[in-house]
Chain A
């Protein structure tokens, strides 16, 4: 049983650019969530997808958007990058909603 895999592991972007982060959920998991973790802070909920539909959203602006595909993999897109977007982005998957989450190793995004 494979876990949650995220790509890339590290990324450096320039302010104003756009970025796409990818996540493959654990086999059989149909719920995917994305979190942003700034240094020294707990993760903050961005949004959740359940069977390809957005199912919940945290306090993030519309320039943070996502997709979930039929195989339940997911993408997080961030437009017009700002310096404060520099963080560890974590993807988590679950078998049905809230059965407990399995997290990936994250993508470290640095915006310069």
Chain B
């Protein structure tokens, strides 16, 4: 059974700092991996999608990497801003492409 773990569970940083969020999964047979952002009480906003054949994706200040063989992904946020404060969720697509399996998320707080 696929399990997704996100470390740390919570993170507080001052504005301007670069930071890394970690995601690990137990079964390397994934279809893809997607990072989401969730504001309190709200839905999910897709940040980056990495197909299983890809190693990384970039969007603005965000960069996500994928190492399937080791079951790891990282989300790198450059020059963090208070507006980045949210919960970040990692989800792997099962091999059949029918479901996302989520971690519990990392709650990020960026102070000005």
Contacts and interface: CB of A to CB of B under 8 A. Distances in A.
Interface in A42-65: 42-45, 48, 55-56, 58
Contacts, number: 62
Query: Chain B at the A interface: mostly helix, strand, loop or mixed?
Result: strand
Interface stretch (B11-19, B37-45, B75-83): B37-45
Interface in B58-100: 89, 91, 93, 96-100
Contacts of A2: none
A99 to B, nearest CB: 8
A59 to B, nearest CB: 10
Interface residues of B, number: 25
Interface string B14-34: 000000000000000001101
Contact of A103 (B32, B45, B96): B45
Interface string A59-97: 000000000000000000000000000001010100001
A103 B31 contact: no
A72 B93 CA distance: 21
A105 to B, nearest CB: 4
Nearest to B44: A103
Interface of B: 4, 31-32, 34, 36, 41-46, 49, 89, 91, 93, 96-105
